[in-house]
Copies of this chain bind each other. A is one copy, B any other.
Amino acid sequence: MFFAKRQRTLIFRVNGYLLSLIAMFDLLFKHISKRVTLSSSELEFLTTVFIPKKIRKKQYLLQEGEICKWMTFVSKGCLRSYTLDAEGKEHIVQFAIEDWWIADMYSYLTGEPSEYIIDALEDSELLMLDIKGKETVLENIPAFEKFLRMLLESNHIASHRRLHTMMTKTAEEKYLNFIHSYPQIMQRVPQHMVASYLGISPETLSRVRKQILATK
Contacts and interface: CB of A to CB of B under 8 A. Distances in A.
B105 A156 contact: yes
A161 interface: yes
A149 interface: yes
A164 B83 contact: yes
A37 interface: no
A159 B154 CA distance: 13
Contacts of A161: 106
A105 B163 contact: no
Number of identical monomers bound together in the oligomeric complex: 2
A173 B197 CA distance: 20
A130 interface: no
Most buried by B among A85, A156, A164: A156
Contact of A149 (B145, B162, B166, B167): B145
Contact of A155 (B148, B156, B167): B156
Most buried by B among A138, A142, A149: A149
Nearest to A91: B168
Interface of A: 83, 85, 91, 93, 105-106, 109, 138, 142, 145-146, 148-149, 152-153, 155-157, 159-164, 166-168, 199
